[in-house]
Structure 1
Amino acid sequence: MSIFYVLGKKGTIEILYKIKEGVNSFTSIKNALDMEGCGVSTRTLAERLNELEDENLIQKDGSKYYLTKKGQEALEIIENVMKWEAKWKEAKIPKIIIGMLGDKER
């Protein structure tokens, strides 16, 4: 399975961030996601956690989940992409470039 496929699924990045923040048991992750309005079903959360483990982004130790080095690096990349997106959303892009990009909303 492609890591992009896994990261693109509903709730996956939010789950990684919760684990990074120290919210690391199944129940606490579920509750935290529900409180933020990004709730996923119990079944979906279990699937996402298994997929993240399969991709070696997280590891389970007893009943707790932790980011692996790969997971930490993935979040750093995601954060950089988010910063990049924010930069370009705010930037004044010349109309000719917008046309080349096919972005009619700018």
Structure 2
Amino acid sequence: MKNCVLYKTVNIVGKRWTIHILLELYKGEKKEKGFNELKRRLGGVTPRILSARLIELEREGLIVKQTDDSSLPAVSRYYLTESGEEFIKVIQEIKKWGSKWKFSNNECDRSVCKYCDL
């Protein structure tokens, strides 16, 4: 199993908060967000977990961290890479599956849900 592509992929995106982070970076007009904005939007995530997930997602090439050190303190912004943008399509398919088989929600069944922007 250690060489299975599916298992390797799930090890990247299956950790708690990972899909939520990717979704928050996708949502809205502004496609880049700072650490504190992500923390606020996600609600219950701890700073330690958020930091760890951001590092992992950057290492895996799903997001990019851009730091502006021209001001003090330095400001870091995160945004999706092409790989991360493409993974949003996977999240959309997960939503379709959930809507079809598990959860009935008129708000989510609209073409663009006000909660997840998908």
Query: Is the pair's TM-score, using the shorter chain for normalization, greater than 0.5?
Result: yes
Greater per-residue strand proportion: 2
Report how far residue 58 of structure 1 moved: 0.3
Aligned position for 1:45:
50
Report how far residue 4 of structure 1 moved: 1.2
Identity in percent: 41
Kept after mapping to 2: 8 A contact 1:3/1:55: no
Q: Which moved more, 1:66-75 or 1:80-89?
A: 80-89
Q: Which moved more, 1:51-60 or 1:81-90?
A: 81-90
Aligned position for 2:22:
16
Q: Measure, in 1, the Cα distance between the counterparts of 2:84 and 2:57.
A: 9
Query: Which one of the candidate residues 38, 60, 64 is aligned to 1:29?
Result: 38
- The unaligned stretches of length 5 or more in structure 1 are 91-106
Query: Which one of the candidate residues 58, 75, 88 is aligned to 2:101?
Result: 88
Q: Does 1:60 align with 2:60?
A: no
Q: Measure, in 1, the Cα distance between the counterparts of 2:20 and 2:12.
A: 12
Report how far residue 65 of structure 1 moved: 0.4
Q: Residue 24 of structure 1: SS of its match in structure 2?
A: strand
Q: Which has the larger radius of gyration?
A: 1
Paired amino acid for 2:26: K
Q: Measure, in 1, the Cα distance between the counterparts of 2:32 and 2:16.
A: 18
Report how far residue 26 of structure 1 moved: 0.5
**TM-score with structure 2 length normalisation?**
0.65
Aligned position for 1:5:
11
RMSD between superposed Cα atoms in Å:
1.8
Aligned position for 2:82:
69
Report how far residue 23 of structure 1 moved: 5.6
